[in-house]
Structure 1
Amino acid sequence: MKKNTWFTFLLLLTYSSVMAQTTKKDIQDQFKNKSLAEARAYLEKQNGKIEKLIKLSSVSLKITPGDVDLKDVRTTEKFDNSPKEQIEKKFQKTLDRLYFSPRVVYPNTDLNISYSVRSLMYSVSNYDDYKFPEPILKLKKVFYQDGKTGTFSKELHGRNQETIDEIKGVKWIDSVELEASYHYPEAMPVITLSPERPLYQFAAGKIHLISVSDGKAVFKISPEVKEKILKVEGINNAGKAVEQYGSSSSNNSSNFSVEFLSQYYEAGKSTIEKIDKSAYKDVDELIEDLYAKIPKEDKKKPENLVNATYNFRGNITQVNLFLKPEKSAVGSYTFVLKNTIKNAEGYGVAYNKKNLAGILDKDGKWVVQPTFEELSYYKGDYFMGEVADDGYRSILWLDKINQKLVPFRYHFYRNEPILDKYYAIEDGINGPKGLVEIKTNKVVIEATLDNISEQGNFIVLRDRSDVNTIVNIDLKKVLTVEGHNYKINGDFIFLSKPYTSKEKFADYSVLSNTDDIYNAEGKKINKDDYVIETFDYFGIDGLLLVKNKLGKKLFINTKGDVVIDGSKYRNVEPFSCGLAAVKNAEGNWGYINTKNVLVIPFMYNEAKNFSKISAMVRTDNGYQLIDHKNKVIKKFDDGFRSYSVKKDADNLTYSNYNGKTYNSKGEIHKDDR
């Protein structure tokens, strides 16, 4: 044993779990060559430290949560001690949300993946507690925009300030295939304790359930065992897990009893008093007396256990303690990420080592030399440069033939293209509007208009007098209308006009407007004055529901010809996905096809429009979804407060009074509660 003072040796013992012997030689070595006065000063100093240690040993350090209202019982899902599937789902969900935006720094490419190993680990609750090796992300394949594929086995670090995920080459990347490997625990041991079975003994210690009452479970646990506990779960008398809301713990501050430490203190105090009375003739006599006074055994040595209390939101009858897994297995997940950076069809922004930007072609050759401090892709063949005098970034057009960026004097009115051929532009901020051809950068309509918009398959040019010139994709005029008394759908323009005839129109005593219909050539196709059903248009069936002067509901085709006379029905609804709901004289609904054949009989109290999957109908027994052959897909117990009526929809939604919204397959689309 290394030579120490007897107190220093004692201090070591107070933090040890094993009692050791203090020999007379230890004390002799400490007081060697000291005078009685020096021995007294030393003993005085050490007794002060022992006194503080006694006070510390008399208290426990703890953090205690407040009491909970046991009337507010909250149960929760039972803990899964085989969380492989849970970990895999969480990791895969997090990995699927990653994105990458490669940044070319000539002559290499930084993948710039939004990956963080810590974020991945944090996506699984308590994953850190397993102390597994960190997950590893590897690059497996790179899919280039020219159709070629590169194979790799390179570890990636993502958002790491010290490491750049760089690969050789500057070919434009379409997507990357990545593989994440990670550890997950094998089934975790679980210990179940209750008042009937309160003790579990380990080789390294024990867990002892002292009491279970008032939503609290009190334990005494060996420190080595407590470190192995991952989760404590309370179970009530119904066998359900009760939500935990807090815990507390306390530790003995010393491995020795207060009585044992006090004997050491009194031995030192008595020795000091005898020095003051000159009772020792020399230090050797002091050593003999001191050794005789110090205790040789701690008969009340406290058991080295942690006091632990776990609180639950409700009374419990047993406790499950899950231990940290000692073994793990390795899982992996392979997935593909698409490049989020757009470029101008094989041309993209790249940087040199001085961080100056230029443009590379698909072969990695500089088309525009890297001389720009600020350059980014905008849209089409347009790029954005430095901030101009008006406070907005300048716009540059890539002249691919002459391999240069040409300044563009206009701003863009909207980001999306018009009919995939033009961009709307404006002269200055909120200035007059015009059109530029995307492919050639040619201004085809000067910026003199008040507004330009894409509607259906047309472009509407509105001047400052509120006159709308409707043109086709070749900018040929189709129709001119004033104001906003029109709507466009696909290749057809519906123009509302005043009805000036003095004769009564159908069942209306006064009618202010009817609708004329014009095709893509600007030709009027309706042969009579009609009122068009609200929100209806020529859909995939090419039929439109109208009402004529006599009040008859008719279906006309895209040439304006009447193909179905709906007047024989009591009521008619527009066509949608091949069928139209019709009502007979008795008040029952069925469905006709585009040849006016009744294909679903008159058997329903209500009938909604069809999607490509089904329609909602009501019988005396409630609502149900039927398919195009009148087969029931799903029945509902409750009614509906709202529903979709979109024509020719792939899917429709229906909001039930029970708080759930269903789709056309009868599946729950969302829960509104």
Structure 2
Amino acid sequence: MIKYIALSISILLIVSCNGQQNQESNCLNNTLKIKEDNILLTSIEAFTLSESKTFLEDQYNSIETLINFSEANLEFSLTSGEAMNEEEPKFSDSFYQLLPKDSLEGKLHTFFNTMYLRQEIQYPDSYLQIPFDRYDLDVKLIKDFWEEDKNLPRFNINTIFYGDKTRVKDTTSFQKDSYRSLATQIPSSKPMDSIEVQVLYTYPTIKEVILAQKETKTELPDGSIVTAAISGNTVSLQYPNTMHEKIVAVEGIHETDNYLVSSGSSGSTRPTEEMITYLKCFNTTLKTAIDKIENKEMDTNEVLRNFLLQNVSEAPENDQLRLQRFQFSGTVKKAKVYIQTGISEEINKSLVLKRSEHDQKATNGYYLAIDKKTQKQGLVDETGAWAIRPEYEDLRMMNDYYYSGLYNDDYNQLYWLNTRANRLERVSYELDEVKIYSDKLVNIEKETNGPEGIINAKTGSMVIPMKYDYIRPQEGFFITDLNNKEGLYDKNGKNILPEVFNNISVKDDMIYTSKETDDSYDEKDIYSLKGVSIKKGTWNNYDESFGKDGLLLVKYNYKKNNVHYYDYIGFINKKGKRVINVQKYEQVAPFSNGLAAVKNKKDKLWGYINTTGKVVIPFQYSEAKAFQERYGYVVKNKEALLIDRNNKVFKKLPDTFSSASLPLDSNEAVYHLYSGETYDADGNVVKDKESK
């Protein structure tokens, strides 16, 4: 029992004494003595002299242990940095950075302007949430500062803008809801469009201190920070414990000036030198008192009490020193210490936060809501009143017209929103896609991977029968497949082409088709959007599509002696009329950016024609590829060249290409040369991913 009390008093002497500054180094000579109510004196009042002696001995031993530990701990911190046995240091891409005020506030402006609002209608209230992920902010110092709740920005609502174009003033404040969001609740179930909020925030002001040598000392308003040692992978620092919360970060810097990855830190506190001196003097006094009791020079507690009252001084202020060690994944040349010196003035910013596009909200005036009392779900209208009573569970919005949920303990089911009757109706099909086409059309299927059709989701009427293997929407039309044959419907459900084609595509306001023939080649055709063929019987194949020049290269495929041949016919326009005859050429390529490469029969050389059929770049090249916006790739005398539209050489490439990407009507060509280099359409060297 006595030992327990002694240990408690040892702590109290250090922690709880009324501190005084500027004490003399010799505590026995200090005239500022302890008072009558000092815990040391009041504790021995209940003891016998023998118990007091035991008490003082325990006190003496406890303080002696504390002194020895503190001095050993300091010595360890000063000398314990050891080099790591790593072959390569590890460098970090994430490091603290002090930014000029304008740059810092610019990043904060961008951060706040990316925020948005989420509304969950909990009838008759609404739960509002602002996703607030400080890790989206590319300023590490502020991210760490805002980690403490007391430093978080405050969001206060000014005005609520509802979906029905009304607005109300409000003063509700958001509170931290989770690690990555702020939230509040308001007494309204009306669907919102946006809110105007006032944001009040601060950020820390930081001082950067570079410590490069042992025993470097930097004086700061709250004390001094000392580099106790930089050795190997370890930085040891000593500073007043009151500064510990203000040390924002310590970074180790390699001799290459790269920032090292942190591998941990550890620390402890110890009394100041002034307190150590006091404790040594105090223990000397205790030892003297113990000896006097043993030598019978003190025979009562009262004599002991008077001795202590006359010879023990008040303890100095109990400031403690922090000894902190930081380890890094590599040898440290210098340390960078970031110290918070203050906080900025509060900044007041007004923001309008739009409701999230991903919220479960419909464009037809119905909004998903949950009844706060029954926890059942339904749909409210723009006034916040129930349009569909809350009778469902796990109700999820699939699109504006379809919802998935449970009703009366029924298994999860698909419901169609009948807007004319204001009710959810169970349907006997599934959604193949949730996307809505032409504001009303939805792709449905009888069952998973079953026959597909198209329904008018506004009226619930079938537009395309639910009998097809698949339906592919394209350019406002629907390509259907039945038994590996494709057909085409328009958005009104009109069958434009029957299911007799191998392939159908819609682009450039035309319909392109291909169909198998008995001669084992595909016969191609082109139709207007009304399903009228533009083929005049002179061709059955084509290359590419009309493109931006509105000209299409057509040819005639045929089979002779079991060998397939084709003859070039010419270029046609979208009415099917041949406007350029190319039968005199041996080879022809489609138009690209107003020019088409052609090869003559006489010299077997390539040139280019324009959209009138005139040769504008003469036949002098062994190769000629699709012309880009400014230059075309050609080969002459085994040299690869980029030429302009006037046949002037822009650049000679170091080699011909081994492979190339040559999109028509673009400037996106890429040439991969045999020499290993890659060039773009304008003759610039493109670096491969491996070389970046």
TM-score tier, shorter chain, comes to 0.7 to 0.9
Runs of 5+ consecutive residues of structure 2 not aligned to the other structure = 558-565
Paired position in structure 1 for 2:547: 539
Once the two structures are superposed, the pairs formed by residues 32-431 of structure 1 within 5 Å of their partners are 32=45, 34-43=47-56, 45-47=58-60, 49-50=62-63, 52-53=65-66, 56-57=69-70, 59-60=72-73, 67-68=83-84, 72=88, 80-82=97-99, 84=101, 87-88=104-105, 91=108, 95=112, 98-110=115-127, 112-116=128-132, 124-125=140-141, 127-129=143-145, 133-139=151-157, 142-147=160-165, 154-157=172-175, 159=177, 165-167=184-186, 169-178=188-197, 180-186=199-205, 188-195=206-213, 198-202=216-220, 204-209=222-227, 212=230, 214=232, 217-225=235-243, 227-233=245-251, 240-243=257-260, 245-246=262-263, 247=265, 249-252=267-270, 255-256=275-276, 260=281, 263=284, 266-267=287-288, 270=291, 273-274=294-295, 280-287=298-305, 305-310=321-326, 319-331=335-347, 332=349, 334=351, 336-340=353-357, 341-354=360-373, 355-386=375-406, 391-400=411-420, 402-417=421-436, 421-431=440-450
CA drift of 1:140 comes to 5.0
The structure-2 alpha-carbon separation of the partners of 1:385 and 1:552, relative to structure 1 and needing over 3 Å to count, comes to: same
| Deviation larger for 199-208 or 188-197 | 188-197
State the Cα deviation string for residues 330-357 of structure 1 (Å, max 9, x = none).
Answer: 4547454344333151222334442433
The structure-2 alpha-carbon separation of the partners of 1:120 and 1:624, relative to structure 1 and needing over 3 Å to count, comes to: same
Confirm or deny: 8 A CA contact 2:81 2:234 kept in the other structure: no
CA distance in 2, matches of 1:548, 1:427: 43
CA drift of 1:441 comes to 0.6
CA distance in 2, matches of 1:29, 1:383: 78
Confirm or deny: 8 A CA contact 2:538 2:569 kept in the other structure: no
2:594 matches 1:579: yes
**Corresponding residue to 1:471 among 480, 489, 496:** 489
The structure-2 alpha-carbon separation of the partners of 1:374 and 1:203, relative to structure 1 and needing over 3 Å to count, comes to: closer
| Deviation larger for 591-600 or 131-140 | 591-600
Confirm or deny: 8 A CA contact 2:83 2:331 kept in the other structure: no
Paired position in structure 2 for 1:505: none
The structure-2 alpha-carbon separation of the partners of 1:36 and 1:622, relative to structure 1 and needing over 3 Å to count, comes to: farther
Paired position in structure 1 for 2:560: none
Percent of aligned pairs with the same residue?
23
CA distance in 2, matches of 1:271, 1:364: 88
The structure-2 alpha-carbon separation of the partners of 1:173 and 1:219, relative to structure 1 and needing over 3 Å to count, comes to: closer
Paired position in structure 2 for 1:492: 511
Confirm or deny: 8 A CA contact 1:460 1:469 kept in the other structure: yes
CA distance in 2, matches of 1:670, 1:597: 39
CA drift of 1:557 comes to 2.1
The structure-2 alpha-carbon separation of the partners of 1:489 and 1:219, relative to structure 1 and needing over 3 Å to count, comes to: same
CA drift of 1:555 comes to 1.9
CA drift of 1:326 comes to 1.6
SS at match of 2:513: strand
Once the two structures are superposed, the pairs formed by residues 512-531 of structure 1 within 5 Å of their partners are 512-526=521-535, 527-531=537-541
CA distance in 1, matches of 2:69, 2:267: 17
CA drift of 1:629 comes to 10
CA drift of 1:494 comes to 1.4
The structure-2 alpha-carbon separation of the partners of 1:523 and 1:618, relative to structure 1 and needing over 3 Å to count, comes to: same
Confirm or deny: 8 A CA contact 1:47 1:268 kept in the other structure: no
CA distance in 1, matches of 2:143, 2:518: 73
Query: Under a length normalisation based on structure 2, what TM-score does the superposition of the two structures give?
Result: 0.72
Runs of 5+ consecutive residues of structure 1 not aligned to the other structure = 501-510
CA distance in 2, matches of 1:632, 1:177: 60
Confirm or deny: 8 A CA contact 1:662 1:670 kept in the other structure: no
Paired position in structure 1 for 2:573: 557
The structure-2 alpha-carbon separation of the partners of 1:125 and 1:615, relative to structure 1 and needing over 3 Å to count, comes to: farther
State the Cα deviation string for residues 217-254 of structure 1 (Å, max 9, x = none).
Answer: 5554344455543344556777x354363555454357
Query: Under a length normalisation based on structure 1, what TM-score does the superposition of the two structures give?
Result: 0.74
SS at match of 1:256: helix
Aligned residues: 641
The structure-2 alpha-carbon separation of the partners of 1:80 and 1:314, relative to structure 1 and needing over 3 Å to count, comes to: same
Confirm or deny: 8 A CA contact 1:395 1:409 kept in the other structure: no
SS at match of 2:151: coil
State the Cα deviation string for residues 248-295 of structure 1 (Å, max 9, x = none).
Answer: 545435732685576356446535644xxx675433455567789x78
Query: Match of 1:434, as an amino acid?
Result: G
CA distance in 1, matches of 2:129, 2:656: 49
The structure-2 alpha-carbon separation of the partners of 1:469 and 1:387, relative to structure 1 and needing over 3 Å to count, comes to: farther
SS at match of 1:575: coil
Paired position in structure 2 for 1:507: none
Confirm or deny: 8 A CA contact 2:154 2:199 kept in the other structure: yes
The structure-2 alpha-carbon separation of the partners of 1:146 and 1:643, relative to structure 1 and needing over 3 Å to count, comes to: farther
CA distance in 1, matches of 2:195, 2:655: 49
Confirm or deny: 8 A CA contact 1:643 1:653 kept in the other structure: yes
Confirm or deny: 8 A CA contact 1:385 1:394 kept in the other structure: yes
CA distance in 2, matches of 1:363, 1:296: 77
CA distance in 2, matches of 1:139, 1:569: 74
| Deviation larger for 206-215 or 630-639 | 630-639
Confirm or deny: 8 A CA contact 1:70 1:215 kept in the other structure: no
Confirm or deny: 8 A CA contact 2:33 2:314 kept in the other structure: no
CA drift of 1:136 comes to 2.1
The structure-2 alpha-carbon separation of the partners of 1:353 and 1:614, relative to structure 1 and needing over 3 Å to count, comes to: farther
CA drift of 1:318 comes to 5.2
Query: Match of 2:291, as an amino acid?
Result: S
The structure-2 alpha-carbon separation of the partners of 1:94 and 1:388, relative to structure 1 and needing over 3 Å to count, comes to: farther
Confirm or deny: 8 A CA contact 1:200 1:206 kept in the other structure: yes
CA distance in 2, matches of 1:363, 1:124: 44
Paired position in structure 2 for 1:433: 452
CA drift of 1:135 comes to 1.0
The structure-2 alpha-carbon separation of the partners of 1:667 and 1:335, relative to structure 1 and needing over 3 Å to count, comes to: farther
Confirm or deny: 8 A CA contact 2:379 2:386 kept in the other structure: yes
What is the RMSD of the two structures over their aligned residues, measured on CA atoms? 5.3
CA distance in 1, matches of 2:66, 2:214: 39
State the Cα deviation string for residues 51-74 of structure 1 (Å, max 9, x = none).
Answer: 654554454288978633586356
Paired position in structure 1 for 2:563: none
